[in-house]
């Protein structure tokens, strides 16, 4: 069974701090996606990483896919209250069913 473990589960920081959240698995994924979800709404796709070692930047957010395509990280620089939300990673099963495998999420609170 493919699993994606996210850490930490909860994170509460002050505005301006940096943080990193992790998404780890023992399985290889053909691609990995990061989503952010605000309370009462559906998740919104932030980025997809496909190539091992790939780094993508989205303003203050930096996403990295592990060389072996088993893990990923999300780094936020100078966090702002607007970054508050649930961050979810999802890996694409490279097999025939092409289903997304979801992590349980990291709940981030950025305090002003």
Partner 1 sequence: SQTIHQWPATLVQPVGSPLSLECTVEGTSNPNLYWYRQAAGRGLQLLFYSIGIDQISSEVPQNLSASRPQDRQFILSSKKLLLSDSGFYLCAWSVLAGNTEAFFGQGTRLTVV
Q: Which helix (H) or strand (E) holds 59?
A: none
Each residue 46-85 as x (binds partner 1 by CB under 8 A) or -, in order, gives --x-x-----------------------------------
Query: Contact between 104 and partner 1 (CB under 8 A)?
Result: yes
**DSSP structural state of residue 16:** T
For 96, which DSSP code?
T
Cα–Cα distance for residue pair 74/63, rounded to 1 Å: 5
Contact positions vs partner 1 (CB under 8 A): 30-31, 33, 35, 39-45, 48, 50, 86, 88, 90, 92, 98-100, 102-105, 107
């Amino acid at each position: 069974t493919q699993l994606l473990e996210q850490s930490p589960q909860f994170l509460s920081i002050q505005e301006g701090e940096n943080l990193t959240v992790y998404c780890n698995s023992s399985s290889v994924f053909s691609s990995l996606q990061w989503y952010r979800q605000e309370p009462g709404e559906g998740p919104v796709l932030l980025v997809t990483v496909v190539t091992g070692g790939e780094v993508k930047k989205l303003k203050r957010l930096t996403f990295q896919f592990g060389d072996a395509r088993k893990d990923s990280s999300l780094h936020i620089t100078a966090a702002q209250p607007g970054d508050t939300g649930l961050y979810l990673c999802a890996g694409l099963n490279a097999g025939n069913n092409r289903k997304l495998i979801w992590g349980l999420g990291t709940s981030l609170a950025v305090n002003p």
